Amino acid sequence: MYLEVKDLRKSYGEGGSYVEVLKGVDLSVEKGAMCVIQGASGSGKSTLLHCIGGLEEAGSGSVSVDGMGICGLLPEELSDYRRANLGFIFQFYNLVPNLTVKENIQVCEYLTDSPLDMGELLGTLGLDGHQDKFPAQLSGGQQQRCAIARALIKNPKLLLCDEPTGALDSHTSRDILELLEGVNRKYGTTMLIVTHNNSIRHMVDQVVCLKDGQVMQDYRNEEKVPAAQLEDL
């Protein structure tokens, strides 16, 4: 397994405000697979993603990516882990507003010695002609494309997507999902997608449903529906 999460627990607060968000989550994802994590608000899906991304420290349990355990790593070691393995895509894009599209992508290009070809990536993501624009000059969809390009430029082994279509209309959402599908196919990138959107589960290899910090369902799709054919996005 490329990603393995075992008995992961995470809690916040103390005394009366104590909340256990993850209550012993187990999860395995194969290399190159697309996996969706679903659940209602407060189910712990984002916390799980952050723990896998090394952004939050787990209370107990373990997370390993490509055979490397990340729990207990020092902050600088976690930085190296993210730098070497991960790409992030957020619901609200988190582009640096005073950098152009190209410069935003360069933020991550700078982190690797063997980046993907910038021109090809811009072309693949439909950002040709927009590279010198600033985020404020782009539509929501274009901004998310830029965020995806930024995540992909260093060719990460694992792409963590937190509600990648959460801020987009259905048409643009479909475009973005098609894009992620294409990227998965082209680069073999393992993807973990946190989403509220039920339709997305049909296009991925694996679906994990969380409820109150526990895995309620974890199954693999026998047949995937291409993103272009998804309904009710």
If binding means CB under 8 A, how many residues of this protein chain bind another protein? 33
Q: Which is nearer to another protein, 49 or 203 (CB)?
A: 49
Contacts of 185 (CB under 8 A, 6+ apart): none
| Residues in 114-153 at the binding interface with another protein, rule: CB under 8 A | 132, 134, 136
Complex with another protein: residue 143 or 197, whichever CB lies closer: 143
Residue with tokens 């950002």: 127
Rounded to 5 degrees, what angle do the CA atoms 34, 106, 227 make? 25
Backbone dihedral angles phi then psi of residue 8, each to the nearest 5 degrees: -80, 125
Q: Dig out the tokens for 207 from the structure.
A: 């679906």
| Residues 91, 157: Cα–Cα separation, whole Å | 20
Bridge partner list, 38:
195, 209
Q: Is 84 a residue that touches another protein (CB under 8 A)?
A: yes
**Quick one: 1 or 84, whose CB is closer to another protein?**
84
Residue 83 identity (one-letter amino acid) = R
Site residues (CB under 8 A) for another protein, limited to 156-195? 162
- Candidates 23, 26, 71, 81: give the one binding another protein (CB under 8 A): 81
Note whether 111 binds another protein by CB under 8 A.
yes
How many CB atoms are closer than 10 A to CB 114? 6
108 binds another protein (CB under 8 A): yes
Enumerate binding residues for another protein (CB under 8 A).
46, 50, 53-56, 76, 79-84, 86, 88, 90, 92, 94, 96-99, 103, 106-111, 132, 134, 136, 162
